[in-house]
Amino acid sequence: MLVTVTESEKSVPGSSDRLHLAVALDGTGWHPASWREPDARPAALLTAGYWTDLVAEAERGLLDFVTVEDGLALQSEHPLRADDRTDRVRGRLDATLIAARVAPRTRHIGLVPTVIATHTEPFHASKAVATLDYVSSGRAGVRIQVTASPEAAGHFGRRTMPDPDLLSEAADYVEVIRRLWDSWEDDAEIRDVATGRFVDRTKLHYVDFEGPWFSVKGPSITPRPPQGQPIVAALGHVDAAYRLIASSADVGFITPHDAAETTTTVEAIAAHRGDQPPVRVFADLVVFLDDTTAAARSRRDRLDEAAGRALRSDAEIFVGTPAELADLLVQWHDAGADGFRLRPASLPHDLLQITDGLVPELRARGLFRTSYAANSLRESLGLSRPANRYSTAATS
């Protein structure tokens, strides 16, 4: 029988006036023509050095974490199938492995790769993220994404799609990976020479999950990771996704277009969340940053022209100076956003504008850290290490 969590997560006092910053890494940036920029490194996209340099730069800026995008199909501007374009970045590496490769070369920054729940095994995902937490000493998270693409389904070829229930399947997926993280109690390894026992098997737990899409017995093959529960994140644009964020995530990414919408969305998620500890809500923004507003605009225009059309995005597109962006972030922060996940229009340019421009600007206003103090990603987000849902100690 399931034992419910009895020790609630508490916010770390004194951190709520500061805002959190993350950067979303994808290819050479979020503008489709970004790879043609003078400082872009499109030929290095498949190398470890490319990703290590970007994450190290984000760490230099003391950001909370980076996310790494992923997908189970070739990138495409068509929502359902390959677009056969040859003028865009195509091809990518597995995001979890990029994060793992970068982990030993960084020390403080959180690493949040995307995992696609729709066609993959929650058992594999759970141990992969747990292991990322081990190799990064407590800096792992995972952004859960679904895909309705028939192209991706054709790559797996065996399953009928749970559409339109992709999000319910994702909720089950998160439930399984979370149970598996807890399937070992922290002190399960005992190495008791007298009795010859390496583990106390009463501290290993079957997760016994059964659902419409999969059943998973457990326990995990990997012991409980350093953070206990690595961070789970999800992006939402609609109420069904807000429900997933509220039920399953520690961090929600949302795409408001002004302060009022920020408040509405944060409140919608909070209402679904009920009396559980709050979700950390990050607003997503695509950013074109330069030293002057005119320079930022002209760069956007240049990129749009090279791409053959104006950039479209689900998220608000910000074009301006780091100081102007700081003004906007302060407003949205006051409106309820805990933090921001910035999507650089082009890399490394907009990342450098964030670390060299935006971060000092926010710091001058007392809104951003001056050094890394936390020992884990959870801690840097003001989240405590959760009690184990199966812990016998917690219920005694």
Partner 1 sequence: MTKPLKQIHLAAHFPGVNNTTVWSDPASGSHIDFGSFVHFAKTAERGKFDFMFLAEGLRLREQGGEIYDLDVVGRPDTFTVLAALAAVTDRLGLTGTINSTFNEPYEVARQFASLDHLSDGRAAWNVVTSWDAFTGENFRRGGYLAEDQRYQRAESFLTAAHTLFDSWRGDEVVADKESGVFLGDAAAGSFAYSDDHFDISGRFNVPRSPQGRPVVFQAGDSDHGREFAAASADAIFSRHGTLEDGQAFYADVKGRLAKYGRRHDQLLILPAATFVLGDTDAEAAEIAQEVRLAQVSPQTAIKFLEQLWNRDLSDHDPDGPLPAVDPVVGENTIARGRASVRMYRDPVATAHEWRARAEAEGLTSRELIVEVTGRQNFVGSPQTVAERIDYLVQADASDGFILVPHVTPGGLDPFVDRVVPLLQERGTFRSEYEGTTLRDHLGLAAPARSEDATSAV
Tell which positions 152-211 bind partner 1, by CB under 8 A. 152, 154-159, 184, 189, 191, 193, 195-201, 204
Kindly state the smallest distance separating residue 335's Cβ from partner 1, in Å: 38
Draw the binding track, 93-132, toward partner 1 (x: CB under 8 A; -: no contact).
xx-xxx-xxxxxx-------------xxx-xx--xx-xxx
Kindly state the smallest distance separating residue 79's Cβ from partner 1, in Å: 15
Kindly state the smallest distance separating residue 81's Cβ from partner 1, in Å: 9
The closest alpha carbon to 252, from 225, 274, 231, belongs to: 231
Residue 345 touching partner 1 (CB under 8 A): no
Kindly state the smallest distance separating residue 220's Cβ from partner 1, in Å: 8
- In the bound state with partner 1, the residue whose beta carbon lies nearer, of 154 and 314, is 154
Spatial distance between the Cα atoms of 296 and 289, rounded to a whole number of angstroms: 6
**Both tokens assigned to 262:** 């920020």
Residue type, 158: R
The residue count for binding partner 1 (CB under 8 A) is 81
Contacts 24+ apart (CB under 8 A), 261-266: 262/332, 262/335, 262/336, 262/337, 263/335, 263/336, 266/335, 266/336, 266/337
Q: Where are the alpha helices (DSSP H) in the chain?
A: 48-60, 95-102, 122-135, 150-156, 166-181, 239-248, 259-273, 293-307, 322-334, 349-353, 359-364, 377-380, 392-395
Residue 141 has φ and ψ, to the nearest 5°, of -145, 180
Judging by DSSP bridges, how do beta strands 209-210 and 197-199 pair with one another? unpaired
Cβ–Cβ < 8 Å for 131, 104 = no
Residue 35 touching partner 1 (CB under 8 A): yes
Kindly state the smallest distance separating residue 138's Cβ from partner 1, in Å: 11
Residue 42 touching partner 1 (CB under 8 A): yes
**Both tokens assigned to 345:** 């229009």
Kindly state the smallest distance separating residue 80's Cβ from partner 1, in Å: 12
Residues numbered 298 to 327 that lie near partner 1 (CB under 8 A) are 306
Draw the binding track, 56-95, toward partner 1 (x: CB under 8 A; -: no contact).
---------------xxxxx------x-xxxxxxxxxxx-
- In the bound state with partner 1, the residue whose beta carbon lies nearer, of 207 and 283, is 207
